[in-house]
Amino acid sequence: MGRIEIPIGPQHPALKEPESFTLYLEGERIAASNVTLGYNHRGIEKACEGRTYIEDLYLIERVCGICSHSHSTCFISAVEEVAKLEIPKRAKYIRTIIGELERIHSHLLWLGVAAHEIGFDTLFMYSWRDREVVMDILEMLTGNRVNYGINKIGGVRRDISEEQKEQVLKAVETLEERTKYYIEIVNSETTLIGRLKNVGKLSYEDAMRFQASGPVARASGVDRDVRRDDPYLAYGEIPFNVITDNHCDVLGRTIVRAKELIESYKIIRFALKDIPQGDLAVKAPRRIPAGEAFTRYEAPRGEDVHFVKANGTDKPERVKLRAPTLANLASITHMLDGGYLADVPIVIAAIDPCFSCTDRSISIKHLDSGNENIMDWDSLRKYSIDWHKNKGFDAKNIQVKLK
C-alpha cells in the first residue's frame, strides 16, 4: 500500500469528543499527522462577560464535565484575589478535599478509557466500577456526581460532617486497595506493557519544548506541579510527593496517574484529619472592585490557568481560561509521528484530552481549496448572510410577527 491519508475524527470511535486528526500512513506506520481544533467552540469566555460573577461561577463549572471543580476553583480564586477576600481555612480544606476526590474520579476514568483504547475491556470495567465509589462520595458531600457546585464566592456551600468523614475514609480505604491492584497490573501484565511501552515517546527536552503539563510532563521527568510550586488552598500545609517517571511514554503516563491516586488518598486523609473548625464562607460583595488576577490550578489533566479582569461592576470585563489539554495538544503530533496506526487512540487518550474545554475559536476551512482563515465576529456574520443570499435566502425579508 502506498501513502494513504486517513481521517481520525471529527467522528471516530476512539474519540469521545469531536476533533480532527489527519494521519498520513505508510503501511501501518504514521508518516505525518495533523491536528485540527475547533469543533467545539462554545464561546464560553464571551458568555462570561455578559453574566454576573455568581452566574459565571456555574457557567465556568460547566466548561468541563470531569474537572469541573478545577475550573470553578481556579476562576473563583481569581475573583477572590481581585476582591481581596480571604476565605476561611475550613473552606480551603473543603475545596482541597473535593479537588482531590475529583482527581481520583478523573484518573480512574482515564485508566478505564486508556484500557478500552488498547482493547483491555476488563480493566476498563473494573476501574469504572471503582470510580462509582468516589462518585457516590462526591454526591454525598456535594449533592452532585459531577458539577459539584460546592464553591461560592467567599467560601463553600456545604460542610463536611463527622459522619461523612467516616464514610469518605472508608471509601478511600477501598479505593487505595483497588489502586494498588491496578498498579500491580500495570507493572506485570505482559500484553498491557507491550501496548504501552515505547509508545508515544516524549523526551524530557521535547516535553519542555512543547510545554507539556500535568501527568504528561511528569511522565517525561519534568518535575512540575502547581500544587507544590505555587501552593494554593490548603496544599501548602499538606505533605505530598510529586510523582515523576522516566519512561517518557504512555506506560510512564499510566504509572504517574496511578501513583498520583495514592498521593491523593494521602492528601484526603491528612486534610480530613487536620481540617480546622470555623466558618464556611465570608460575606462577598456583589460588585467586585476593579483589578485583575491570574491564577493557576493543578487540574487532573495538567495546569489550568484563569485570568479575570474586573471593572467594578457585578460583571467581569474579561475572562480568559486555558484548559490543560491545549498545553498538551502541541506535543501530540510529535508523539504520533513514526508510530503505528494501532497506537493512535492510546497516544491521543494518554494526554487525557478534553477537547470541548480547549476550543476557543473556529477556523473556516474551504473544502474545495483547503484554505483556512480565522474570522472575527463581524466577518463571520457577513459571510453567513452572503452565503444565505447566494442560496436565494435573504434574512432582510423575514419579518417576525409578534401576537
Partner 1 sequence: MLLSLFYILIFPGFIFLSAYGLIVEYLDRKLYARFQNRIGPPWFQPLADFIKLIGKEAIVPAKADKGMFRILPAFALASVSAVILYIPLWSTSALFPFKSDLIVVLYLLTIPTITFFIAGWVSTSLFSTLGAVRTITQLFAYEVPLFMALLGPALLAGSWSISEIAAFYYKNPLLSLYNIPGFIVAMIAIQGKLERVPFDIPEAETEIVAGSFTEYSGRHLALFRMAIDIEMIVLVSLIAAVFFPVYISGNITLGLVTYLLKTVILVFILALIRSLMARLRIEQMVKFCWLYLAPAAILQILIDLLVKGVS
Q: Which residues bind partner 1 (CB under 8 A)?
A: 1, 4, 6-7, 12-14, 28, 115-123, 125-126, 129, 189, 191-192, 194-195, 340-345
Least gap, CB of 115 to partner 1 (angstroms): 7
* Cβ pair 334, 210 in contact under 8 A: yes
| Least distance from partner 1 to the Cβ atom of residue 342, Å | 5
Taking the complex as a whole, the smallest distance from the CB of residue 335 to partner 1 amounts, in Å, to 16
Cell numbers standing for residue 1: 500500500
Least distance from partner 1 to the Cβ atom of residue 129, Å: 6
Residue number, 13 or 370, with CB nearest to partner 1: 13
Beta carbon of residue 196, minimum distance to partner 1 (angstroms, whole number): 9
Confirm if 308 and 72 have CB atoms less than 8 A apart. Answer: no
- Return the closest-CA partner of residue 347 out of 202, 250, 213, 256: 250
**Least separation, in Å, of the C-beta of 314 and partner 1?**
47
242 vs 341, beta carbon nearer partner 1: 341
Identify the CA nearest to 31 among candidates 346, 337, 334, 331: 337
- Closest CB to partner 1 among residues 341, 362: 341
Q: Identify which of residues 115 and 222 has a Cβ nearer to partner 1 in the complex.
A: 115
Classify each residue of 132-150 as buried b or exposed e, where b means 16 or more C-beta atoms within 10 Å of its C-beta.
ebbbebbeebbeeebebbb
Question: Where on the phi/psi map is residue 232: left (φ > 0), alpha (ψ -120 to 50), or beta?
Answer: beta
Nearer to partner 1, 56 or 343 (CB): 343
Give the shortest CB-252-to-partner 1 separation in angstroms: 17
Q: What residues contact residue 249 under an 8 Å CB cut-off, 6+ apart?
A: 196, 197, 198, 199, 200, 201, 202, 219
Based on CB atoms, which residue is closest to partner 1, 197 or 286?
A: 197
C-alpha cell at 241: 510527593
CA angle, 224 as apex, 222 and 229 as ends, to 5°?
155
As measured in angstroms, the least distance from the Cβ of 7 to partner 1 is 8
Minimum CB distance to partner 1 smaller for 118 or for 226: 118
Q: How far is the CB of 119 from partner 1 (least distance, A)?
A: 3
> Nearer to partner 1 by C-beta: 123 or 219?
123
- C-beta closer to partner 1: residue 99 or 345: 345
